[in-house]
């Protein structure tokens, strides 16, 4: 098998390659003067099982085009099987029609990846599980919960932990993490979103008084929801609040907002390449999912079970 890297998250690809003890395929993914993407693969991939690793985070459209063109280049170079590995699947939040005359962009992106020539997709913590059904090719959705639960147990063992979902839609995700933490109690933050990008905390369902609260979510974007939830949990009597999120989008003023919030810590994974402000923050810590992705890649190449990773 071979690993091909786009430009979106090179450090993660290097970590995956190191875990698998194999080199990254020699290729150029660059821009023409007018910003058109150009891909050239410098080694033979005919008959190979190739994994293209590319997060479609900011700049989402550029990174998506890189992925599509890499897939097309591999297809035309006669690769035997092409697996699109998307540690972060952009456009996943547009998975339904929230109103009339709006797109379902996640389905459009799934079609683009399929038509480009991908034979398989591997992702991490899709925003909605049903996005797997948008693809007409085999799709594996990995979960960061095992990585998070191991970190929580290592750092906060002995504390009275309550796992908290920042909204009703994330209850399944929070329950899965709570189960891994010896069936820790669960709480839910009931919020009302007045307009996109803003959230107002209304009520806390569950007892958090005197508890060490662990907020869990798949994506932290503006961080408004998490920071408001942390403030509400503190008002409800929580001793401390930490947040674990798989994908650290952290757009706009998210990092300063986290730094000024009631959160003791925000833990994200390296599914998206971090930038200087996030790395400089004393409240933001990064967990790697490279071993998780590498093991899944190995199992797909070996035609063995991926789901057993989470048993």
CATH at 71: 3.40.50.2020
pTM: 0.91
- Least Cα distance to 69 among 113, 16, 32 occurs for 113
Q: At 196, is the pLDDT very low, low, confident or very high (cuts 50, 70, 90)?
A: low
DSSP string, 29-53: EEE-TT--EEEEE-S--TT-EEEEE
277 and 149 in a single domain? The answer is yes
Q: Assess whether 118 and 40 both reside in one domain.
A: yes
Is 180 marked as binding a ligand? no
Mean pLDDT on 189-206: 72
Residue whose C-alpha is closest to residue 205's, from 221, 224, 229? 229
What is the per-residue pLDDT across 223-241, written as a single tens digit (0 to 9) for each? 988 998 999 999 999 999 9
Strand partners, 245: 217, 268
The residue count for the chain: 311
The predicted-structure confidence for 64-86, as pLDDT tens digits, reads as follows: 999 999 999 999 999 999 999 99
Residue 237's alpha-carbon distances to 202, 207, 233, 266, in angstroms, are: 16, 9, 7, 19
Residue 225 marked as a ligand binder? yes
User: Known binder of ligand: residue 49?
Assistant: no
- The mean pLDDT value for 203-231 works out to 92
Would you please indicate which residues are annotated as catalytic (active-site) residues?
191
Q: Which two tokens stand for residue 236?
A: 């409800």
Asked if residue 213 and residue 172 are part of one domain, the reply reads yes
Domain range for 68: 2-143+291-310
What is the C-alpha separation between 170 and 127, in angstroms, rounded?
9
The beta strand positions in 22-165, using DSSP E, are 27-31, 37-41, 49-53, 81-86, 120-124, 139-142, 161-165
Residues 246 and 225 in one domain: yes
> Does residue 283 share a domain with residue 150?
yes
- The answer to whether the Cα torsion of 130, 134, 136, 142 is positive or negative is negative
Residue 94 marked ligand-binding: yes
Do 187 and 267 belong to one domain? yes
Query: Is residue 223 annotated as involved in ligand binding?
Result: yes
The whole-angstrom separation of Cα 222 and Cα 268 is: 14
Confidence of residue 199 (pLDDT cuts 50, 70, 90): low
Name the domain count of the chain.
2
Q: Do residues 169 and 137 both lie within one domain?
A: no
35 is in an annotated binding site: yes
């Amino acid at each position: 098998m071979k690993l091909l890297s786009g430009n979106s998250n090179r450090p993660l690809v290097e970590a995956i390659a190191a875990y698998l003890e194999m080199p990254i395929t020699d290729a150029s993914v660059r821009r023409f003067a007018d910003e058109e993407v150009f891909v050239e693969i410098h080694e033979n991939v005919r008959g190979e099982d190739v994994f293209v690793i590319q997060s479609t985070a900011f700049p989402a459209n550029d990174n998506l085009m890189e992925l599509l063109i890499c897939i097309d280049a591999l297809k035309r170079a006669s690769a035997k099987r092409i697996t699109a590995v998307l540690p972060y699947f952009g456009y996943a939040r547009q998975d339904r029609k929230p109103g009339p005359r709006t797109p379902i962009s996640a389905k459009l992106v799934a079609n683009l990846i399929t038509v480009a020539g991908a034979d398989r997709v591997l992702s991490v913590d899709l925003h909605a599980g049903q996005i797997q059904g948008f693809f007409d090719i085999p799709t594996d959705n990995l979960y960061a919960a095992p990585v998070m639960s191991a970190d929580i147990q290592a750092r906060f063992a002995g504390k009275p932990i309550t796992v908290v979902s920042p909204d009703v839609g994330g209850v399944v995700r929070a329950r899965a993490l709570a189960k891994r933490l010896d069936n820790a109690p669960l709480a839910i933050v009931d919020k009302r979103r007045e307009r996109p990008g803003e959230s107002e905390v209304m009520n806390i369902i569950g007892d958090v008084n005197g508890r060490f609260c662990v907020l869990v979510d798949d994506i932290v974007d503006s961080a408004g929801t998490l920071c408001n939830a942390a403030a509400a949990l503190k008002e409800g009597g929580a001793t401390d609040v930490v947040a674990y999120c798989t994908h650290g989008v952290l757009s706009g003023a998210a990092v300063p907002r986290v730094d000024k919030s009631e959160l003791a810590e925000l833990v994200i994974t390296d599914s998206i390449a971090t930038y200087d402000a996030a790395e400089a923050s004393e409240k933001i810590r990064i967990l790697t999912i490279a071993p998780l992705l590498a093991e899944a890649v190995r199992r797909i190449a070996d035609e063995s079970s991926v789901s057993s990773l989470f048993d």
